[in-house]
Amino acid sequence: MTLAVAALVVFWILEVLPGDPAATMLGISATPETIAALRTELGLDQPPVARFLGWITGMFSGQLGISYAYRVPVGGLIAERVAVTLPLAVLALMLASSIGIALGTLAASKANSVIDSVVMGVAQLGLAIPNFWFGLLFVLLFSVTLGWFPSGGFPGWSGGILPAFQALVLPALALALPQSAVLARLTRSSLLETMGEDYIRTARAKGLTRGQTLRRHALRNALVPVLTMMGLQFSFLVAGTIIMENVFALPGLGRLLVQAIGGHDLILIKNLVLLFVGAAVIVNAIVDIAYGYADPRLRVSRP
Amino acid sequence: MLVVDNLGISLGQTRALRPLSFSLDAGETLGIVGESGSGKSITALAIMGLLPEVMQASGSILLKGENLLALDESSLCALRGRRMAMIFQEPMTALNPVMTIGRQIAEGLVLHGLMTSEAAASEAVRLIERVGLPEPELRAHSYPHELSGGQRQRAMIAMAISCRPALLIADEPTSALDVTVQAEILALLREIREETGMGMLFISHDLAVISKLANRTLVLYGGAAMEMGETQALLAAPRHPYTRGLIAAIPRGNAHTTPLRPIRGHVPELHGLPDGCPFHGRCLTGTDLCRRSSPAPDVASTTAWCHHLDGGQGA
């Protein structure tokens, strides 16, 4: 349902967008005749409803259409780029959650201490700094000065996992840091709130130290709002990959989208945007499933 | 076994509890009765060493000769759950919602090094059966929200007695439960006390509940002791005006013929309370003396703290 609405909105926005893809493709020297011929070839002369239905039915049969600019099937083009962007997003999400939850837990366990203030101060800084700037800084430090990681480009997965992974570490970290700052703050406040619950007192009465109570009893309860936030953040993460792929010259979906927009490659744009929407829907479904693991009260029925 | 000597608790300038002394033998139950804010719950928390950080305790609490107030946090952790355990009022919120009942019960046994986790898991099932929950195997894998209030309180009791503590503190264990379930839980506590010989501090605002379980009763009001003695003697012949008011306020008989007798006035704020008897403002026999100075204990059939033990009708 969400996807259907998204498809309609995407299609409609691109429809009202000014500029003729056929004219853009042929350049300024094109004659009205050649433009008209290309429009017929691309199917742009058909009414919008027919083109929309054609797109949707094509999607179900795996025929996403031919890219106007690249002249190759959109499906293959996207699949090639997903192999870069998906690992990047997953790596960034993993980094963001592990760094964020670890720092948030540390700050909460030493609440109102120097460590707490330092961690929260750093998190505030992480929130304030945009991710592309982190990217540029990382390139300067780790690539140019230290030479640990490549400064950009992507060797592809065929050359082995390690070089490909190395190419993704810096952009993923740059993407993850601002997100982990949000997660750290949320984890801290959620944990401190949970530490005031009655069952925390019960755990303390059992003989657990404050630290043990925090890790064994409070953390899992405190993670439910953190999970929600991670689901919401995924959209920002995807938006971030668009920027980061351009900073690090990674041949991913984000760069493809930017190029497609530049070239008025409407068919590529609408498929890419729909893919991003689909990814967000899937991630939120995963978050819903994860709720059940985190909190048994949210399970519909016992297995 | 437990000797509390001149235990005082302060919150900044406010005295939450005035110096209080009592003792408890193994196998004995001391009931502590009082209204909200009387200091009964913080007394329990002080013994467990779980007072909120803003509160300071003074005096001494000896558990089997060891002064709990002088112990550091790690020594206290070793005692909590092992030598002394506590049952809380709200069975709905006092159990961790994301952990199975069995694991919560077994946790203490493993923590205090009494058992391996496998042995503790089967001991948890045994304890669940002991506290009278049906289908113990199944209950061990249940989460708290799948149990009723009474069942959760039974699980709390199983958790508290798992390490066979010498002292069990029950803070309003039945107040949040239905009356029929209350009676069952009280019976269970009495059974377990007989079986294990542990000493029990039973805290309640309800004299009727206290009278079913406690050998001796301590009446607290406004952070100060009012009266203490054998429960039967105290109920049969209360000497302190407050105790008399408390007993008279218990509803009984036909509502149409017997008027309810509340104690007049309200519980005073502890902050800025004068030095004298905290009850003087509501007491029918209160005089200027009551406002100025704390009464000394008067030992007769019970011990009472009042300047005017032989006068008046109380509240």
Asked whether residue A70 is assigned to any structural domain, the reply reads: no
Do A29 and A178 lie in a common domain?
A: no
Give pLDDT, residue A41: 74
* pLDDT category of residue B98 using cuts at 50, 70 and 90: very high
ipTM, 2 dp: 0.86
The shortest CB-CB distance from A206 to any of B97, B98, B107 is to B107
Residue B297 has φ and ψ, to the nearest 5°, of -65, 140
Q: Is the pLDDT of residue B257 over 70?
A: no
Asked whether residue A148 is assigned to any structural domain, the reply reads: yes
Span B258-305, pLDDT tens digits = 677 777 777 776 666 667 888 888 888 778 888 888 888 888 888 999
Do A143 and A40 lie in a common domain?
A: no
Do A137 and A205 lie in a common domain?
A: yes
Asked whether residue A209 is assigned to any structural domain, the reply reads: yes
Do A135 and A40 lie in a common domain?
A: no
**Structure tokens given for A250:** 């990674």
Span B36-92, pLDDT tens digits = 888 899 999 999 999 988 899 999 999 999 999 999 999 999 999 999 999 998 888
Asked whether residue A68 is assigned to any structural domain, the reply reads: no
Provide the greatest CA pair distance for chain B.
65
Please tell me the distance from the alpha carbon of residue B278 to that of residue B295, in angstroms, as a whole number. Answer: 10
Do A147 and A283 lie in a common domain?
A: yes
Q: Would you call A201 and B50 a contact, using CB atoms and an 8 Å cutoff? A: yes
Span A37-88, pLDDT tens digits = 877 777 777 787 888 888 788 777 777 777 777 778 888 888 888 888 888 9
User: What residues contact B95, with CB distance under 8 A and at least 6 apart?
Assistant: A199, A202, B101, B104, B144, B152, B155, B156
Query: CATH code at A131?
Result: 1.10.3720.10
Do A86 and A198 lie in a common domain?
A: yes
Q: Is the pLDDT of residue A274 over 90?
A: no
CB atoms within 10 A of CB A82: 16
**Structure tokens given for A227:** 């999970």
Give pLDDT, residue A303: 44
Asked whether residue A66 is assigned to any structural domain, the reply reads: no
The average confidence (pLDDT) of chain B is 89
Do A106 and A242 lie in a common domain?
A: yes
- Residue B282 to chain A, least CA–CA distance (Å): 33
The average confidence (pLDDT) of chain A is 85
A31: left (phi over 0), alpha (psi -120 to 50) or beta: beta
Do A130 and A206 lie in a common domain?
A: yes
> Which residues is B8 bridged to in the sheet?
B58
Please tell me the distance from the alpha carbon of residue B60 to that of residue B206, in angstroms, as a whole number. Answer: 28
Asked whether residue A251 is assigned to any structural domain, the reply reads: yes
Out of A235-239, A262-266, B210-214, least confident range:
A262-266
Do A151 and A39 lie in a common domain?
A: no
Do A178 and A34 lie in a common domain?
A: no
Q: Would you call B97 and A201 a contact, using CB atoms and an 8 Å cutoff? A: no
Annotate A167-208 with DSSP letters as a single string.
HHHHHHHHHHHHHHHHHHHHHHHHHHHHTTSHHHHHHHHTT-
Asked whether residue A72 is assigned to any structural domain, the reply reads: no
Q: Do residues A151 and A139 make contact, with C-beta atoms less than 8 angstroms apart?
A: yes
- Best of A113, A191, A206 to disrupt the B interface (most B CBs within 10 Å) is A206
Please tell me the distance from the alpha carbon of residue B112 to that of residue A204, in angstroms, as a whole number. Answer: 13
Span A141-186, pLDDT tens digits = 888 888 888 877 888 777 788 888 888 888 999 999 999 999 999 9
Q: Do residues B6 and B19 make contact, with C-beta atoms less than 8 angstroms apart?
A: yes
* Residue in this structure with the two tokens 């992507």, named with its chain if needed: A154
Asked whether residue A47 is assigned to any structural domain, the reply reads: yes
Q: Do residues B167 and B199 make contact, with C-beta atoms less than 8 angstroms apart?
A: yes
Span B212-254, pLDDT tens digits = 999 999 999 988 999 999 999 999 999 899 999 888 887 776 6
Radius of gyration from C-alpha coordinates of chain A: 24
> Which residues is B250 bridged to in the sheet?
none
CB atoms within 10 A of CB B232: 13
- Best of A202, A210, A226 to disrupt the B interface (most B CBs within 10 Å) is A202
Helix, strand, or coil here: B4? strand
B85: left (phi over 0), alpha (psi -120 to 50) or beta: beta
Give pLDDT, residue A290: 87
- Residue B252 to chain A, least CA–CA distance (Å): 34
List the domain range (segments joined by +) for residue A97: 77-298
Domain count across chain A? 2
Do A43 and A163 lie in a common domain?
A: no
Do A198 and A258 lie in a common domain?
A: yes
